[in-house]
Structure 1
């Protein structure tokens, strides 16, 4: 009897150890750094290559681990129940349930998973060979279970195929960057730059272009001396030329080419043919992604494009610098005028021009204003208010307070944005309050 009791206790302990192995292995494999495993594999680590192959068939791996874990837990519970019944009678069922629950939770779940989280890469490399054998042995059973699960889910309208991926690689990278930023491992500037690279595939040129109302352009019909004066006064080196209407762009004038031509004629501007110096404008659709446009800029060795809508109407202009600024932030030099489009205030609010993109505000203030329905701050207010508000009106959207400071005709030109913390005293939302100022 004593020998049988000892064997039973030994079997229970052994099954708990195996259960701990399964639990820890599952956590280690799912928490292991794919980037580090790939780096180790490139350095010649056979075990890292094995980890990568196991993770490539993640569903089979998890299925095998869960199946093995449940089998040993059930076996351990059955043996414990049998043992306690022989010792305590019918009350042994309750005792066995309490004891096994405590043992499984502490020693087969919490303890191994905690260790695995703290040593994910190290443990994943250690258990990979054993898991390879386990996955191979249980492959027929896990395949049958996968078939049953998939077809059961289809009955409830959920279709899962072999290529389904919950998170794209870009989303995984973005999530890792945000996590490291919150933990202090990545500073805000680096986070914004890395996020800017990822955003290039999600943004269109219309999201960051210089709108036509803010374009600097020169009338090509002006006398050459006036064109030269305007080029000198501009802070830009490339300027669109228009004829008839400002939206009729007929060429792009480079200041360096213009001044070289002026030198060649000994300063006699009357001898200069401005249109002969201009290059043909490059028109790009407003729906082009920034990633595609950056590639096009590099391929054409160009720096400047005119953005048009589906009807061919000019919407604005885009430069290579605009795309680079989406990654590195504003680029200024000694000729740039200090930016006044967005001015953070001492109380945490922001005074901002209406045409400033929401993305720029979020980046500057580390806010999270939505930019799905509108590109600019003014556009967001108009979208949410379903009207063009007057100066002095105040709105509460998405936890922020928007106060219209100035309006010109049908455009909101200046606003004050107050974040949730500074607006805590005015929690109740107001659709609008009577205007206090007249439009300017």
Structure 2
């Protein structure tokens, strides 16, 4: 090998190492780039962002083309390096070429370009997208053939790969992104809870957030009109269900504004009112309706209030638009709300909780993760896990917490002490408003 040929081979090796670094960095950047950010940039008129989005959409084809290009240049560079070192050092050149090329490829073609790409994947992806598009177009037919062979071989060993295999649930992807941002400090707890509450709407049912019928404030439509008016005006709620004859025979909903208009028209004389002309029909919804569907129904019907019934048509409670919005933004309180303290943090790190406090509200306030699949309230969770109605002073340990029953009234657990175990036993941060499941008949 002449000196000129030797130097040309060395120059070719350097170029091939650069190409290898390009392929490695491009693969890292394009797989790490945010599809959502690229979509937003494309909407803003960035054509390269649209190109990146199209490349990412065909991810299997993209990765195959980049890997093919990377392997080609690495093998060619290694072959040239072996030839150069054989001419320079004889038979020992094979071992030297292996060591030198391994070090060069590792540092300059793998670690350095991938570190650079991952530090700012979107910017790197935008820069390399036009060239990568050409690479994918050239190697596309070869990669397509490789894909067919790979899928057939995987199918022989019982692995069936579909296009959907690589697609994550949009909700799961959003949840993961939100949790990661919160962990890294990009989102505060309140923001994470709001986004999480929005994502939970499709999974929760109205029975999970409704006001139970034992806590409902309802009026007897057969009462004297002055008494009915006084009770309605004294109530802190805007919308009040009316029953007649039996407490589960609901005949309508009385809105405070409608009552005030009627009173004004009657000159303030409640005896002149006709309650049947004031109330609006009752809207009944199944307890299995998802919160997302119920929210859409509220918006569609321009209504804020519905009674929840079970499969037998029995009234279980009521749900309002405010109840659903509180799953997103947290507890909403106004100057007319009756606040009932349901959670009291203690100096030893434990929390005294009313049994009717919803598990989701407690988790939000304390940043715990007690399961709420089998029960809605804290008392319900203890009864479910204990498989019995516990007595006062009984202690149970599950899900990393110690539950002590402080008070029981008949068959209801009304107060508990919850202590995190192990490393979790620490001072609970100051709580925001975490009332128990209180009647929220009032509209906004």
Same fold (TM over 0.5): yes
What aligned pairs does 1:190-201 form with structure 2 within 5 A after superposition? Answer: 190-201=191-202
Question: For residue 21 of structure 2, what is the aligned residue in structure 1?
Answer: 20
Q: What's the CA shift for 1:85?
A: 4.9
Q: What's the CA shift for 1:116?
A: 0.5
Deviations 1:163-182 (A, max 9, x none): 44432233323322222222
Deviations 1:76-98 (A, max 9, x none): 33443454455555555444443
Point out the more displaced range, 345-354 or 102-111.
345-354
Question: For residue 173 of structure 2, what is the aligned residue in structure 1?
Answer: 172
Q: Does residue 1:272 correspond to 2:273, yes or no? A: yes
Point out the more displaced range, 301-310 or 367-376.
367-376
Q: What's the CA shift for 1:8?
A: 3.3
- Cα 1:180–1:424 shift into 2, 3 Å: closer
Deviations 1:369-400 (A, max 9, x none): 22222222222222222222222122222212
- Cα 1:255–1:138 shift into 2, 3 Å: same
| Equivalent pair of 1:404/1:415 in contact (CA under 8 Å) | yes
Deviations 1:107-148 (A, max 9, x none): 111110111111212211111111001111111121122222
Deviations 1:389-416 (A, max 9, x none): 2221222222122222222222222222
| Equivalent pair of 1:349/1:422 in contact (CA under 8 Å) | no
Query: Structure 1 unaligned runs (5+)?
Result: 426-440
- Cα 1:12–1:423 shift into 2, 3 Å: closer
Point out the more displaced range, 49-58 or 84-93.
84-93
Aligned length: 425
SS at match of 2:406: strand
SS at match of 2:317: strand
Task: Tell me the distance in 1 between the aligned counterparts of 2:167 and 2:49.
Answer: 24
Task: Tell me the distance in 2 between the aligned counterparts of 1:413 and 1:274.
Answer: 38
Task: Tell me the distance in 2 between the aligned counterparts of 1:171 and 1:26.
Answer: 24
Let me know the Cα RMSD of the aligned residues.
2.4
Task: Tell me the distance in 2 between the aligned counterparts of 1:233 and 1:7.
Answer: 95
- Cα 1:171–1:304 shift into 2, 3 Å: same
Q: Does residue 1:75 correspond to 2:94, yes or no? A: no
Point out the more displaced range, 67-76 or 23-32.
67-76
- Cα 1:393–1:86 shift into 2, 3 Å: farther
What aligned pairs does 1:276-355 form with structure 2 within 5 A after superposition? Answer: 276-355=277-356
Task: Tell me the distance in 2 between the aligned counterparts of 1:182 and 1:96.
Answer: 45
- Cα 1:312–1:74 shift into 2, 3 Å: farther
Question: For residue 433 of structure 2, what is the aligned residue in structure 1?
Answer: none
Point out the more displaced range, 412-421 or 80-89.
80-89
Task: Tell me the distance in 2 between the aligned counterparts of 1:369 and 1:317.
Answer: 25
Q: Does residue 1:249 correspond to 2:255, yes or no? A: no
What aligned pairs does 1:72-221 form with structure 2 within 5 A after superposition? Answer: 72-85=73-86, 87=88, 92-221=93-222
- Cα 1:71–1:244 shift into 2, 3 Å: farther
- Cα 1:97–1:354 shift into 2, 3 Å: farther
Deviations 1:56-76 (A, max 9, x none): 111111111122222322333
Task: Tell me the distance in 1 between the aligned counterparts of 2:195 and 2:398.
Answer: 29
| Equivalent pair of 1:344/1:350 in contact (CA under 8 Å) | yes
Q: Does residue 1:65 correspond to 2:47, yes or no? A: no
Task: Tell me the distance in 2 between the aligned counterparts of 1:145 and 1:344.
Answer: 61
- Cα 1:111–1:260 shift into 2, 3 Å: same
Deviations 1:314-343 (A, max 9, x none): 121111111111121111111112231223
| Equivalent pair of 2:419/2:425 in contact (CA under 8 Å) | no
Give the structure-1-normalised TM-score.
Answer: 0.88
Question: For residue 430 of structure 2, what is the aligned residue in structure 1?
Answer: none
Q: What's the CA shift for 1:241?
A: 1.4
- Cα 1:237–1:156 shift into 2, 3 Å: farther
Q: Does residue 1:239 correspond to 2:240, yes or no? A: yes
| Equivalent pair of 2:350/2:425 in contact (CA under 8 Å) | no
Task: Tell me the distance in 2 between the aligned counterparts of 1:84 and 1:417.
Answer: 72
SS at match of 2:160: coil
Deviations 1:329-362 (A, max 9, x none): 1111111122312233344332222222221111
Query: Structure 2 unaligned runs (5+)?
Result: 427-444
Point out the more displaced range, 307-316 or 151-160.
151-160
User: Of the two structures, which has the highest relative contact order with CA contacts closer than 8 Å and spacing of 6 or more?
Assistant: 2
Task: Tell me the distance in 1 between the aligned counterparts of 2:406 and 2:79.
Answer: 74
Give the structure-2-normalised TM-score.
Answer: 0.88
